[in-house]
Chain A
């Protein structure tokens, strides 16, 4: 009797908490879309060039910057983090050293991104004399995302059942072949979904990019050494510094586009992971 009541109360409480968090998310989305969706979907905005002092400028090069930057960052950080994760999960002995690495990574993950921005500025932009460019931003963001990517990849690799490794080794495969042929393919869907959060973070990152890639461009960046202006940074810039009269519209439209981009990436990464798992005939829950 009593247990039944407690159970009912617990159900209601948790259900309400769930409902509230859903409501908050819905509110944010509706708010942003309500203010910016109309601007966002007009071609002259999402494909247009930004203006310097009159109204009606678009954010085309900024969207390209954001996507380009995200791709470059992943290109740099994925191989590194998968490699390091393989080392930590498969080769390194569990012990003080591994724990120390994890501690460092966790500390790195909690550093404010502005710190990474300043670091990127001094190292890549100034010392390496790359000046403001996509590559400087990509390296900075790669550092920023390394901890999450690495820990995510490590978890995915660790979740591959030991029995797969045993089966492979017992057939005469050595460690590396086992990793390449059995462990990595099974871990891949997890690794792919593990990139969703970091990509979202890259797309939304303003503090680290304004010091490394630049703030304003008119031409679409082509080479990694071209300056760029990722959308999130540009939104910040438009709000605080820009000289155009319609800066509110740019900010709201930009925010809506950012949201759409993150949703799209999130969605397609999941679809891709599921497709990959299916093609490789893995049993995974996503």
Chain B
């Protein structure tokens, strides 16, 4: 299905149509080979423990960037630093810069709320609110002042359709989101992120709690969504990284107690076929074998 932008522009719904126009005016959505986010010498501390050091990374528009590496090397930490979710953790401190569309998001007067609207996040465990399916997705738009019932209805249908969940839930939008299966819940969480029309979507091992079929659906979804969004995903599944991502960053901790660093970053095809660093090769092949 090559819906993507085409479908959006033909969308009969006032809300999405309006957003498309707004976006086109401010920033062309399709921006091949353009850097969306740049991490410059990013370091991150939890209290006195340094979890990340010297992270330099370019995240390209309309691509999927995969972050891989052994457990505890700081993948989730790096991901959370992209929408400042690490600020919810007491004692977390950042140094360096994260530049999105030319602005450092850690600048003192940068507005976190707007940042989080632009950079949505999907978590490892599906975490729908204990509310109805409808209210789960309406949560974001309501935050930003959308009140009209018919507009909300449109957003909800649109978001659910794009998250490939609409057909399964269209008759029970008022049911609790907690009655859905794990895979459905995760797609609901993706729909919830889509509902606020973000530019970047961060996913932290989105398929870790899912079975192969649900995983397949999410992968298809991500490949489709990348036409409109910039996607960064953490994964432990090498095949998944190889299948869906355009760029791959390999994180690692050299020695116990040291911060995580980037060993290698580049196009996925290169990382997986002909990596520069032998540690990358070891990790990838170790996981394959």
Contact = CB atoms under 8 A, between A and B. Distances in A.
Contacts of B132: 281
Contact of B113 (A161, A172, A182, A283): A172
A165 interface: yes
A93 interface: yes
B199 to A, nearest CB: 13
A151 to B, nearest CB: 22
Contacts of A281: 130-132, 175-178
A172 B189 contact: no
Given A163-B123, A166-B85, A281-B176, A171 B130 contact: no
A167 B127 contact: yes
B196 A167 contact: no
B88 A171 contact: no
Contacts of B177: 281
Contacts, number: 70
Interface in B145-192: 175-178, 189, 192
- Chain A interface SS verdict (over half): helix
B12 to A, nearest CB: 26
A202 B175 CA distance: 39
B120 interface: yes
Contacts of A98: none
A281 B192 CA distance: 18
Interface of B: 83, 85, 88, 90, 113-114, 116-117, 120-121, 123, 125, 127-132, 139-140, 143-144, 175-178, 189, 192-193, 196
12 contacts: A163-B127, A164-B127, A166-B88, A166-B127, A168-B139, A170-B116, A172-B113, A172-B116, A173-B139, A281-B131, A281-B175, A281-B176
Interface of A: 93-94, 161, 163-174, 177, 181-182, 185-186, 280-283
